[in-house]
Amino acid sequence: MNTLEQISHETMMFMRGKYHLDEIGDGKNELKFKQGQKTILTIYIHEDRFTFLIIFGKKERETFESQKDMFSSFICDYYNDSKTYHDGKWMLIDVTTKEQLDEIKKLIQIKKKPNRKPFPKDNAVYAQCGQRCDLCIHYTGTSDEQRLLMEPYLVKMWGTTDWKMRCEGCYSESCYCKDDPCNAKRCAFAKGLAECKECADFPCIKATAADPRSMIHTEVHYADEITWAILPYVPYQYEKSE
């Protein structure tokens, strides 16, 4: 991945891993992360950069100003130069490096505390690509009740109604891609690796079944669709930290 692709991928990993939010794209160059009618973050897509719009109300400005010495001059200059309107200070920040994105993440967490409740790691079953087999609709250990919950979101996200295939996990004899390896396995094997987790680039786009939806997009996806149709298939996205 080039730098902009890395920024795109890491932005979605961060937002989906930390927050339970609707993703409302305009089909052109804009993506909003929303909770109800409230916009938490807006991203504008350009050929050579991403522009992040974060609006700080009075409380967020007080928090930022108390932590200002923790931010670079790059962020502080944007903050100082941004206009304050009736609904807050509008910061339109151009991002072209991963270091800048790391600071944007801190601003987002000032704007809103993380609200995603992840699944615990207890009894987790991992695939060779790092995905959670035990959170997949195809896994034999998934209950029928859970499948009924997941299926409408999977149908809406992926456009297929056939979810009857069953698999006992990536390391089992019944793994559906045992004889015809998935993209992630093929990539790992080509590098002489037994699994993706051994790779210096892990986790990457190839290790997720959600590609290309693992990148900044302009589609409309609601929070529960992301929870059940994307996050189980993205390494490290959906589990409680130790």
The 3-state DSSP composition of the chain as helix, strand, coil percent (nearest 5) reads 40, 20, 45
Pick the closest to residue 238 from 153, 120, 140, 84 (CA basis). 120
Q: Is residue 147 part of a domain?
A: yes
Same domain, 105 and 152: no
Output Rg (C-alpha) for the chain, integer angstroms. 20
Q: Is residue 140 part of a domain?
A: yes
Domain of residue 164, residue span: 133-233
Q: Is residue 242 part of a domain?
A: no
DSSP code of 58? H
User: What is the structure's pLDDT at 207?
Assistant: 75
Condensed to tens digits (0 to 9), the pLDDT of residues 37-46 reads 999 999 999 9
Residue 175 token pair = 């793994």
Rounded to 5°, the CA angle 94-96-99 comes to 105
Condensed to tens digits (0 to 9), the pLDDT of residues 61-106 reads 999 999 999 999 999 999 999 999 998 999 999 999 999 999 999 9
Q: Is residue 56 part of a domain?
A: yes
The residue out of 111, 145, 169 marking a domain boundary is 111
DSSP characters over 170-236? TTSTT-TTSSS--HHHHHHHHTT-SSGGGSTT-S-GGG-TTTTTTS--SSEE-HHHHHHHTGGGSTT
Condensed to tens digits (0 to 9), the pLDDT of residues 133-158 reads 888 899 999 999 999 999 999 999 99
- The CATH number assigned to the domain holding 45 equals 3.90.1150
Same domain, 142 and 105: no
Q: In this predicted model, which residue has the larger pLDDT, 207 or 30?
A: 30
Same domain, 191 and 150: yes
d(CA 206, CA 210): 9
The mean of the pLDDT values for the chain is: 90
Same domain, 21 and 107: yes
Q: How many domains does the chain have?
A: 2
